Amino acid sequence: MTLKDSRDLYDRALSVLPGGVNSPVRASIQPYPFFVERGDGGHVIDADGNRYIDWVMGLGPLLLGHDLPQQVQSAIQKQASAGPMYGAPTEIEVELAEFVSRHVPSVEKVRFVNSGTEATVSAVRLARGYTGREKIVVMQGGYHGAQESTLVEGGPESPSPSTKGVPQSFAEHTIPVPFNDTEAIERVFEERGEEIAGVLVEPILANKGIVSPVDGYHETLRKLTREHGSLLVFDEVITGFRVGGLACAQGKFDVTPDVTTFGKIVGGGFPVGAIGGRAEIIESFTPSGDVFQAGTFSGHPVTMAAGLKTLKYAAENDVYDHVNDLGEQLRSGLTDICADQAPEYTVAGTDSIFKVLFTRETPVEGESHCEAGCEQRTDCARYTRCPKTGADVGNTEIERWNRLLWPAMFDQGVFLSQNGFESQFVSDSHTEEDVEQTLEAYKHAL
Ligand code: PLP
């Protein structure tokens, strides 16, 4: 592919945008990112006129793909032409809140905000305000956006900021634990249960490869938080209205959190976030409530129109059947390809999310499970990246992804997430032909 225009745009961008981009992952690809001109169905076309099958889908929000159905487009245009926003309530935000609370088992009330980060920031404040406690438990390898309370690494006894700009004194209010490790979370609650405001967890780790919960893990979190008067907060920014369809991952796993954060799909491709949950907890956000939360753009009418029409379209058509079916075709095709020709890679995902992950070593014949009882086909103790906990990969996977797999796929016209940890997303606009071409490209790339 020639990327002359992208290169010129990147040169211009570098002089006015830090790193030439507005979010760091976009600059992961060397020597420069490609600039998109437009989307078309399940594809994107770059500034140089090249076409790619797009499995990034805006990093997850585009459940319907780039070609929005006519009724979604009309709703967006109608709202935009009625004046973009008012700083006063509108009917459409009530309708979207009604839709969310009707379909998501744990949500009685919801507050809309403008990004997933804003949702998790507010959820952490809510958990602290509601319980009167300060500590937040998070999972190592989990991601909750660019916020102080969760940009923290280390273990339960040694949390430290994962970026400059977060004070150590902030990090000390966060307790990172290994995902899927029941003993570790039980120990933390036994020792400090009365200090813990909440456990903030992605139902499936989706920013560290894709790591699914082991059986019973979420039930353990639910039981411990209940026993100790802490809140269970599911971060469904990625999984919401994707995994488990309209009931979200909490419906799929049959676990009822106290609070849920949403983003991505719920705004139909426009900036959005939301915090939903039991009425009595979310009521803390009322004007006379205890926890301050506010935003100029919150409940933005154009976003609300896009989100509502997108979700209604998904509810009334076979969108989830289609995207989950293609997701399954991709995962099973990729599993065969990896088994045949690249056993050091493993395939992860569920519903309409998929990912090929590099693991350091070729699995040893006959060793199918790790000592921790992981059901994956690999011996995770031997791997750079443990498929069970998402625990540490260091730079190896990123390096392999950025330098080898991503460019090899891109050269064949397939756009994957620009970071070795992030997921790939199927949309309603993708076709079986896209799947076949992508599998063929993986065969060559791997
Ligand atoms: N939570 C999760 C699970 C996410 O994956 C993300 C972003 O990818 C966020 C929160 C932050 O959302 P946003 O990027 O919209 O701020």
Domain with CATH 3.90.1150.10 in the chain: 4-55+319-445
Name which of 55, 100, 139 is nearest 265 in CA terms: 100
Task: Decide whether any atom of ligand 1 lies within 6 Å of the 114 Cβ.
Answer: no
CA of 362 to the centre of ligand 1 (A): 33
Query: Is it the case that residue 197 has pLDDT exceeding 60?
Result: yes
Per-residue pLDDT tens over the stretch 3-43: 678 899 999 999 999 999 999 888 887 788 889 999 999 99
Indicate if ligand 1 lies below 6 Å from the C-beta of 208: no
Please choose from 144, 150, 262 the residue to mutate so as to test ligand 1's pocket, defined by most ligand atoms within 8 A of CB: 144
With a pLDDT cut of 70, the percent of the chain lying above it is 90
User: Atom 8 in ligand 1: which residue has the minimum CA distance?
Assistant: 145
Q: Give the distance (Å) from ligand 1 centre to CA of residue 232.
A: 18
Residues designated catalytic = 143, 235, 264
What is the number of the ligand 1 atom nearest to the C-alpha of 118?
A: 16
Range with the poorest average pLDDT among 248-262, 373-387, 398-412: 373-387
* pLDDT attached to residue 420: 79
Give the dihedral sign, CA 43/419/376/353: negative
Q: How far, in Å, is the centroid of ligand 1 from the Cα of 151?
A: 12
Cα(108)–Cα(88) distance, integer angstroms: 22
- Range(s) of the chain covered by CATH 3.40.640.10: 70-316
Closest ligand 1 atom, residue 263 Cα: 15
Q: What is the CATH number of domain 70-316?
A: 3.40.640.10
- Token couple for 146: 């660019």
- Using the predicted structure, report yes or no on whether residue 381 has a pLDDT greater than 50: no
Helix axis angle for 301-316 and 319-341, nearest 10°, is 80
| The one-letter amino acid at 176 | P
Residue nearest to atom 10 of ligand 1 (CA): 144
Q: Which CATH class is domain 4-55+319-445?
A: alpha beta
Q: Which numbered atom of ligand 1 lies nearest the CA of 116?
A: 12
- Tens of pLDDT, residue by residue over 45-72, are 999 999 999 999 999 999 999 999 999 9
User: 390 with 426: CB under 8 angstroms?
Assistant: no
Q: What is the mean pLDDT of the chain?
A: 90
